[in-house]
Chain A
């Protein structure tokens, strides 16, 4: 073929439907990220092996220390909601590393010179992370079941709990998308993410009851978003008052998205 150009036929400048482009472009861009999981298995292994190790470690190594008297049900049932949330929190670092890599490789430059939606790279990345989280969450339920985890409410409540976990993971993907664009290189992105995440995940109700912590820490640990989300998930899985907890968890998701969504898109537009 010859290297034709468009100079003869002027291109169409507008898609007939304004909403089609962001969605279509996000799916195109997101499929690219999903293919990466397929082609680079180590990416998926990292996001599955690590949570499995956490399950085994807390279930069999630390689990014995948590006094049975504190809990009305077995520790494994207390643990698994924490694991669900912790898995999506750590998984969200992938968005930071991925976008920093794209920024560094020059790929984002090409994308920004294309007539594609300005939210599609971020929309696609977070969409791909969401799909991965569905897979990982299902796997975690299976692994939990294998080590003795049982639900106390019902399958619908478990599904609702998973939706909260996924919503929280999705909101965090936008946080880390922003971090990735800000740092601009994968190593720094990873290094910047961990010190923020570690206290959020470990100084929370994810693995131990907050009541076991010193008073000054309890104030933080009881109200930070990871704990709030874990509490809502636990209420749906293990029983307990749900309405307030679930609403509070969803409010965090909406709040995080409302702040970091626009921040990340703004950053993408000017990323150099």
Chain B
């Protein structure tokens, strides 16, 4: 199959920081490619290079066979970008924002107008079409932003953390739209911090850390590597945790990761492991303070791939704060 996006040896440094440090990947036409990684891992820098906003320091990046540096203008006719920060003019109405995006994408005025209203309808913004975007809620703003990226009917769509900060319903709606885009033949590259999102949408996922791709596979294969389920057991004391650790390993044959008084067991066969764990603890009169069963998260992927924790909650909050500032 023809490549919609081809990236080879891509490098971008900001002073001392190696934001993107030699990245290769290929995205077949009509598929969804997920870049999964924490803040600062280089996802956004890749998107900005692919969307001709930033020049690479080294390497080659092509969109539908066109070089993003030397054929930037041609690339711009083919792509749509919804960045991390809703790029809409707060003083324009929703309809005006979309018409402006359409006109600046070189559509005739009439076509821009028609598509603006059709997209407002599709993104359930018709009621707010003639209200200034500054009156929109966060979710509406994000929908308008994604709609603006689609006015020119791009063949390749870049979505940089499209669902960060969205409520569950808006997120599900956006996922539905991304699937619809792909069903209509578009290629989508999306970045995300959520393993679940990559799992639900992407045909292939590249996990990024410090400017490198540290793993690239189908979501199913990545998850199989990790185990589908994570069981977290919180215990009252260090002594109890030590006893529980031994019991869990004996009962399930799996090694538990220990962090203070919390044990974490990953398994592809969550139900069996959960039952055996609970039985073993119960038989030995160990009563956990907390017991959680969940899907693996980006943190678990990182732990398993690099042996390192990703980001502290503080870093995460700080970056959310800076987003609000912008």
Please give the residue numbers on chain A whose beta carbons come within 8 Å of chain B beta carbons, in ascending order.
Answer: 1-8, 11-13, 15, 21, 24-25, 28-29, 32, 35-36, 39-40, 104-107, 109-116, 120, 270, 272
Q: Using Cβ atoms and an 8 Å threshold, which residues of chain B touch A11?
A: 77-78, 152
Q: Roughly how many angstroms separate A109 CA and B104 CA in the complex, as a whole number?
A: 13
Q: Roughly how many angstroms separate A3 CA and B122 CA in the complex, as a whole number?
A: 8
Q: Would you call B280 an interface residue if the criterion is a C-beta within 8 Å of the partner chain's C-beta atoms?
A: no
In the complex, are the beta carbons of A1 and B105 less than 8 A apart?
Answer: no
Query: Nearest Cβ distance between residue B77 and chain A, in whole angstroms?
Result: 5
Q: Roughly how many angstroms separate A109 CA and B85 CA in the complex, as a whole number?
A: 9
In the complex, are the beta carbons of A5 and B185 less than 8 A apart?
Answer: yes
Return the contact of B88 from the options A8, A107, A115 (Cβ within 8 A). A107
In the complex, are the beta carbons of A21 and B29 less than 8 A apart?
Answer: no
Return the contact of B106 from the options A6, A15, A107 (Cβ within 8 A). A15
Which 3 pairs across A and B sit closest by C-beta, in order of nearness? Answer: A106-B85, A110-B87, A115-B76
Q: Using Cβ atoms and an 8 Å threshold, which residues of chain B touch A105?
A: 85, 87, 90, 326
| Chain B minimum-CB-distance residue to A20 | B106
Contact A1 B153, CB 8 Å, known A115-B105, A116-B105 = no
In the complex, are the beta carbons of B52 and A110 less than 8 A apart?
Answer: no
Q: Roughly how many angstroms separate A83 CA and B122 CA in the complex, as a whole number?
A: 52
Q: Using Cβ atoms and an 8 Å threshold, which residues of chain A touch B180?
A: 2-3
In the complex, per-residue mask of B146-181: 1 if CB is within 8 Å of any chain A CB, else 0: 001110111100000000000000000000010011
In the complex, are the beta carbons of A32 and B85 less than 8 A apart?
Answer: no
Interface size class of B (residues with CB under 8 A): 35 or more
Q: Using Cβ atoms and an 8 Å threshold, which residues of chain A touch B152?
A: 6, 11, 114
| Chain B minimum-CB-distance residue to A272 | B54
In the complex, are the beta carbons of B77 and A13 less than 8 A apart?
Answer: yes
Q: Roughly how many angstroms separate A15 CA and B122 CA in the complex, as a whole number?
A: 30
Q: Would you call B300 an interface residue if the criterion is a C-beta within 8 Å of the partner chain's C-beta atoms?
A: no
Q: Using Cβ atoms and an 8 Å threshold, which residues of chain B touch A272?
A: 53-54
Query: Nearest Cβ distance between residue A242 and chain B, in whole angstroms?
Result: 41
Q: Would you call B284 an interface residue if the criterion is a C-beta within 8 Å of the partner chain's C-beta atoms?
A: no
Q: Would you call B48 an interface residue if the criterion is a C-beta within 8 Å of the partner chain's C-beta atoms?
A: yes
Return the contact of B154 from the options A5, A28, A104, A120 (Cβ within 8 A). A5
Q: Roughly how many angstroms separate A163 CA and B84 CA in the complex, as a whole number?
A: 43
Q: Using Cβ atoms and an 8 Å threshold, which residues of chain B touch A4?
A: 153, 184
In the complex, per-residue mask of B88-102: 1 if CB is within 8 Å of any chain A CB, else 0: 111110001000110
Q: Using Cβ atoms and an 8 Å threshold, which residues of chain B touch A1?
A: 118-119, 121-122
| Chain A minimum-CB-distance residue to B50 | A113
Please give the residue numbers on chain B whose beta carbons come within 8 Å of chain A beta carbons, in ascending order.
Answer: 29-30, 48, 51-55, 73-74, 76-79, 81, 83-92, 96, 100-101, 103-106, 118-119, 121-122, 132, 148-150, 152-155, 177, 180-181, 184-186, 326
| Cross-chain pairs A/B with CB under 8 angstroms, 26 sampled | A1-B118, A2-B184, A4-B153, A5-B184, A5-B185, A6-B152, A7-B155, A11-B78, A12-B106, A13-B74, A28-B100, A28-B103, A29-B104, A32-B89, A39-B92, A40-B91, A104-B326, A107-B89, A109-B53, A109-B83, A110-B101, A114-B152, A115-B77, A115-B105, A270-B55, A272-B54
Q: Roughly how many angstroms separate A109 CA and B186 CA in the complex, as a whole number?
A: 22
In the complex, are the beta carbons of B181 and A35 less than 8 A apart?
Answer: no
In the complex, are the beta carbons of B48 and A111 less than 8 A apart?
Answer: no
Query: Nearest Cβ distance between residue B314 and chain A, in whole angstroms?
Result: 24
| Chain B minimum-CB-distance residue to A39 | B91
In the complex, are the beta carbons of A25 and B104 less than 8 A apart?
Answer: yes
Query: Nearest Cβ distance between residue B284 and chain A, in whole angstroms?
Result: 56
Q: Besides A25-B104, A105-B85, 15 other CB < 8 A contacts?
A: A2-B184, A3-B177, A5-B155, A5-B181, A6-B153, A11-B78, A28-B100, A32-B100, A35-B91, A106-B83, A107-B89, A113-B53, A114-B152, A115-B105, A115-B106
Q: Using Cβ atoms and an 8 Å threshold, which residues of chain B touch A12?
A: 77, 106
Q: Using Cβ atoms and an 8 Å threshold, which residues of chain A touch B90?
A: 105
Q: Roughly how many angstroms separate A25 CA and B74 CA in the complex, as a whole number?
A: 17
In the complex, are the beta carbons of A7 and B83 less than 8 A apart?
Answer: no
Q: Roughly how many angstroms separate A115 CA and B66 CA in the complex, as a whole number?
A: 14
In the complex, are the beta carbons of A110 and B105 less than 8 A apart?
Answer: no
Q: Using Cβ atoms and an 8 Å threshold, which residues of chain A touch B88?
A: 107
Q: Roughly how many angstroms separate A8 CA and B185 CA in the complex, as a whole number?
A: 8
Q: Using Cβ atoms and an 8 Å threshold, which residues of chain B touch A13?
A: 73-74, 77
Q: Which of B89, B96, B104 has the most CB of A within 10 A?
A: B104
Q: Using Cβ atoms and an 8 Å threshold, which residues of chain B touch A109?
A: 48, 53, 81, 83, 85, 87
Q: Roughly how many angstroms separate A15 CA and B77 CA in the complex, as a whole number?
A: 12
Query: Nearest Cβ distance between residue B11 and chain A, in whole angstroms?
Result: 16
Contact A28 B91, CB 8 Å, known A3-B122, A109-B48 = no
Q: Using Cβ atoms and an 8 Å threshold, which residues of chain A touch B155?
A: 5-7
Q: Using Cβ atoms and an 8 Å threshold, which residues of chain B touch A21?
A: 106
Q: Using Cβ atoms and an 8 Å threshold, which residues of chain B touch A8?
A: 185
Q: Using Cβ atoms and an 8 Å threshold, which residues of chain A touch B52?
A: 112-113
In the complex, are the beta carbons of A3 and B81 less than 8 A apart?
Answer: no
Q: Which of A106, A114, A115, A270 has the most CB of B within 10 A?
A: A114
Q: Using Cβ atoms and an 8 Å threshold, which residues of chain B touch A40?
A: 91
Q: Roughly how many angstroms separate A5 CA and B184 CA in the complex, as a whole number?
A: 7
Q: Using Cβ atoms and an 8 Å threshold, which residues of chain B touch A25?
A: 103-104
| Chain A minimum-CB-distance residue to B76 | A115
Q: Using Cβ atoms and an 8 Å threshold, which residues of chain A touch B154?
A: 5-6
Q: Using Cβ atoms and an 8 Å threshold, which residues of chain A touch B89?
A: 32, 36, 107
| Chain A minimum-CB-distance residue to B30 | A7
Return the contact of B186 from the options A5, A110, A114, A120 (Cβ within 8 A). A5
